[in-house]
Structure 1
Amino acid sequence: MDRQDIIQALRSKGQEQKALHAKACAERERFFGNRVEVRSVIEYASVCQRRCRYCGLSQDIQNPRFVLTSKQFLVAMDDVVERGRRVVLVQSGEVTNQGFREELLENFARVRERHPEVELMCGFGTQDLDFYQRLRACGVQRYLLKFETSDEHLYQELKPDDQLEHRLEHLQLLRDVGFKVSSGNITGLPGQSPAFIADDLLFLRELAVPMGSTSPFIAGEHCALAGYPNADLDLTLNCLALMRLLCPTMLIPTVSALEIVSPGGLGRGLLAGANVVTIHDGTPRHLEDRYRIYKKERHLPRNEVLSTVAALGLRGLNTPLT
Structure 2
Amino acid sequence: MIEFRNITKTFNAVTVIEGLNLIVERGEFCVLIGPSGSGKSTILRMINRLIEHSAGEIRFAGEPIRSFAPEVLRRRIGYAIQSVGLFPHWTVEANIATVPRLLGWDAARIEARIAELMALLGLDAARFRTAYPHQLSGGQQQRVGVARALAADPDVLLMDEPFGALDPITRDSLQAEMRRIHAETGKTIVFVTHDMDEALRLASRVVILDKGRIVQSATPRELLHAPANDFVREFLGKDDYGLKLLSVETAGAHMRREDSGAVAEAVREQDSLRLALSHMVALKTDRLGVEDSTGRRVGLLLLADIVT
TM range (shorter): 0.3 to 0.5
Whichever of the two has the greater Rg, that structure is 2
- Bigger fraction of residues in strand: 2
TM-score by length of 1: 0.34
Higher relative contact order (CA 8 A, sep 6+): 1
TM-score by length of 2: 0.35
